[in-house]
Structure 1
Amino acid sequence: MKYSYTKACFALLILLSSCYSSTEVGPVGPPGPQGPIGPKGADAENAYVFEWENVNFTAPDFEVILPYPDNFEGYASDVALTYLLWDTYTTDDGEVVEVWRKLSQSIPTADGMLVYNSDFSIYDVRLFLDAEFPLTWLGADDTDAWVVRVVIVPGDFWNSGRVDFSDYQAVAKALELPEL
């Protein structure tokens, strides 16, 4: 019995040692030949960006609907990213820097939480406010003269995972959006 056990352990040892792989990586080989060129795709935009100025959240609903331009055709697979111009500051060099925040934004106030939010369809974006207190308590600083940017991202790019969509500057760079 002892002899069989020793044989089995020895066979197992040989079997397991043959599965060893080194983590060392060898030198990079020469580049291979270029693959065939694929068919040319249709010319298209990566994304679209629209901007609205002086957007006001007015009573009684404290919402606003921003329709897309007439010459824009949305698709069910598109995703609309909505940003509010939250702040600006001037650098030591005199450059004015815009600070954009992606909706939704939850803001704690003395009266409770205030939420700037949005939803979208293939035709428009709806911005709305929600709060733990009556919205009529809000002042003009909270509701008036907002600048809104909406970026329409094609569904295939949205699923690529290539960019942080909460950062407007990263989205603008990745999608090659025009300066507004």
Structure 2
Amino acid sequence: MIVIMKALFTSIIFASLLVFVSCTETYVGPAGPQGPQGPQGPAGSDGENAYVFEWSEVTFSAANNYEVILPYPDSFDGLASDVALVYFLWDTYETNDGELVEVWRQIPQTILTDDGALQYNYDFSMYDVRLFMDAEFPLDILGAIDTDNWIVRVVVVPGDFFNSGRINTADYDEVAKQLGLPDLSKDYTGQPARR
């Protein structure tokens, strides 16, 4: 009986080794002849098409229910799949070299005030962007620093590019660089620093 068990065990080990050795063998034959050329595919797009628009002196008030509609220019043809990114010029400062640096913040933006939370937010369509304010307190107690003369940039990007996650949308400068947006910088000296 022990002899049969030893023979059976040896046979199983030998068969297992053959299986493992045959599985690791990667024999590749010679390359075959080149196949025929495939059919021409449809023309693709030239690249990501993004657009940037800027509005100045955007003011929220009780008269406009603390919301502002920013229509896209008539020359712009938006798509239902496009995504709008909105940035407010929040501050400017001058470096030691005398360069004026712009500080852009992506919306939505929530500010904690002594009265509670204040939020700048937006929604968009293929025709416009609607900016609005929301707060835990009556908006009519806000001062001009919170409501008046905002400079707003809207970047419209293709939805598939936005959804790819290839870009940090919170950083306006990175968005502009990645998408090859034109430099819209102006002399914003005197623009108030926001909260």
User: What TM-score, normalized by structure 1, do the two folds share?
Assistant: 0.78
| Residues 163 and 8 of structure 1: CA distance in aligned 2, closer, same or farther (over 3 Å) | same
The equivalent position to 1:155 in structure 2, one of 156, 159, 164, is: 159
Q: Percent identity?
A: 65
1:99 corresponding residue in structure 2? 103
The Cα shift of 1:45 comes to 5.9
| Residues 17 and 42 of structure 1: CA distance in aligned 2, closer, same or farther (over 3 Å) | closer
8 Å CA contact 1:51–1:148 kept in 2: the answer is: yes
8 Å CA contact 2:48–2:161 kept in 1: the answer is: no
8 Å CA contact 1:85–1:147 kept in 2: the answer is: yes
8 Å CA contact 1:83–1:100 kept in 2: the answer is: yes
Unaligned runs of 5+ in 1: 21-36
1:87 corresponding residue in structure 2? 91
Structure-1 separation of matches of 2:103 and 2:183: 14
1:41 corresponding residue in structure 2? 44
Residue aligned with 1:102, SS = strand
Structure-2 separation of matches of 1:121 and 1:100: 22
Q: Which has the larger radius of gyration?
A: 2
2:62 corresponding residue in structure 1? 59
8 Å CA contact 1:113–1:132 kept in 2: the answer is: yes
What letter is aligned with 1:175?
A: L
What letter is aligned with 1:53?
A: S
Residue aligned with 1:141, SS = helix
What letter is aligned with 1:155?
A: G
- Is 1:122 aligned with 2:126? yes
- Is 1:73 aligned with 2:77? yes
The Cα shift of 1:43 comes to 4.4
The Cα shift of 1:159 comes to 2.2
The Cα shift of 1:160 comes to 2.1
**Aligned-pair Cα RMSD in Å:** 2.7
Structure-1 separation of matches of 2:163 and 2:116: 35
Q: Could you report, residue by residue, the CA deviation over 1:90-149 in whole angstroms, capped at 9, with x for unpaired residues?
A: 111110010111110000000000000000001000000000000001000000000000
Aligned length: 164
The Cα shift of 1:17 comes to 11
The equivalent position to 2:140 in structure 1, one of 129, 136, 151, is: 136
Structure-1 separation of matches of 2:151 and 2:142: 18
User: What TM-score, normalized by structure 2, do the two folds share?
Assistant: 0.73
